[in-house]
Chains A and B, each alone.
Chain A
């Protein structure tokens, strides 16, 4: 057995063991829904594709049609934040944070606005041109536009 093979085998076995333990401490949430994407009332869209939504929250798409800045708004650590990331961005909150750290410290992206509560999210999105965010479906969304995800 070559040294290379032993090393690769060691890595694969280690990865397998820790993967099978993944149920012990759940870090991701089932895509159970109950997430509503909201935007500023004057946003030029009423619906958005999953791909575009992911592109916006990963900093690839930075402007709406025309030159209006997309203002990405996220929640700080919360179940709604974790559910949104799991359902639409396919990242855990730690992966999402690492991803944005990489963009920010390489100059390739301006970090999203991070807010502490869903009420703050609604207030900020309703008053900020170009803003897009998310809340749980049982949060009052007055003043924002509901954007359906296709």
Chain B
């Protein structure tokens, strides 16, 4: 039904006339609609892509008005469908009031877009880039709600630096809307924790962005160069549940679980303790376990470089996402003995690392081509996935260790039919399984390919 509504609204909007911006009583109205197709030869990536899916669309409409020379108000509604994400639920994407007191100091408040990296705040807008999918290493669509926006306030400004160019800054503070169980945030932690997530309670979020741009006047030979750094920090509590088949090692009294190879292994395996396969199990049952993941710190740093020379655009961005987690266990009154007396059962820290390099060139008014190479690592200190290999079990067909990375070589073709209509074609050569789901038969292939097509209208 939502799909039908989405298509109907889109068709009406497009057929209403030549798409162009509208102004009603001093309010500018802009919008965009896109419909895409994703197909992979193996695995599922973000949606049920094996065999192809059309569950890949976006719709947005915004209203923007300048009340005075310095005061601007606006809001944008947005809906998307990407496999299980979004499902075309219309939501308030951003709504803000902005007062630019001086060029170097302004104030924004409301539901604000987060400036992580150069392209995050326009990630939903297909017309603003050459590729269909932004490099997923940095702009992961399945975790959009972690980084799309926050409800709060902030300051911003553009500081002239004379012959050095100018600096743009933003400082934001607020809270995020986690969008419920179908959100990307839940999916992100389901993938990270590999358990069902039942609730997430996020704390305040702090975001900062600093971008230096070269000047036209004095350094014309490097005009078009941008250097940026953006940072986000928050913390959260995540509740999850799972059913564990466990037993007690008679000799040590240690809680143990099946190791997938016919033996038992400590749960969790404390540092320095090797699994003991030779013991008598005196209790063996399934219990429901509530796990509490206390994410003490979740911080993200993105370093960005962009250079535009005539019709050539080069970009490089590098991201580190640090996560500190303490895990608490609640097995209920009957099995209280297995809890850790209020102490965390496990503390660990790891850092996702991601980066990409890209080049795009516009050959003529209607044709542009782009390439990028994107790299994602689950843990920057375990890029080969050796740690995951040890944790993995023989019960799945997943390729041991390949969960640790994803390499994505992408080629994109963009055809601008006119200023408002855009058609794109894209090919991805993939290596790795980080953030990748098995196909319907539970199989995965480490080396796989994906194809995409998309048609967009913006006005």
Contact = CB atoms under 8 A, between A and B. Distances in A.
Nearest to B66: A110
B362 interface: yes
B228 to A, nearest CB: 14
Contact of B217 (A12, A49, A60, A63): A49
Interface stretch (B120-128, B181-189, B277-285, B442-450): B120-128
Given A11-B357, A27-B310, A28-B310, A104 B100 contact: no
Given A101-B127, A105-B125, A62 B310 contact: no
B269 interface: no
B364 A25 contact: yes
A136 to B, nearest CB: 20
A98 interface: yes
A107 B96 CA distance: 8
B364 A27 contact: yes
Interface residues of B, number: 64
B122 A106 contact: yes
A117 B416 CA distance: 23
Interface in B356-403: 357-359, 361-365, 368-369, 371-373, 375
B235 interface: no
Contacts of B158: 55, 60
Contacts of A107: 62, 64, 72, 74-76, 94, 96, 98, 113
Q: How large is the interface on A (under 10, 10 to 19, 20 to 34, 35 or more residues)?
A: 35 or more
Interface string B406-437: 01010000001001000000000000000000
Contact of B62 (A49, A68, A105, A130): A105
Residue from the set A68, A90, A106 with the largest chain B CB neighbour count within 10 Å: A106
B258 interface: no
A18 interface: yes
A36 interface: no
B72 to A, nearest CB: 6
A95 interface: yes
Contacts of A49: 217
Interface string B15-35: 000000100000010101000
Contacts of A55: 103, 158, 166
B365 A101 contact: no
A140 interface: no
B76 A18 contact: no
Contacts of A102: 121-122, 125, 128
A130 B70 CA distance: 13
Given A11-B371, A18-B312, A69 B364 contact: no
23 contacts: A10-B371, A10-B373, A11-B358, A12-B359, A15-B312, A28-B310, A54-B216, A55-B158, A55-B166, A67-B69, A67-B70, A68-B69, A92-B362, A101-B127, A102-B125, A104-B28, A105-B76, A105-B128, A106-B113, A107-B74, A107-B96, A110-B66, A110-B72
Given A7-B409, A11-B358, A18-B361, 5 more contacts: A22-B312, A54-B216, A69-B66, A94-B362, A104-B64
Question: Considering the complex of A and B, which 8 residue pairs feature the smallest CB-CB distances, nearest first?
Answer: A63-B69, A69-B69, A15-B359, A18-B361, A7-B373, A106-B121, A102-B122, A25-B364
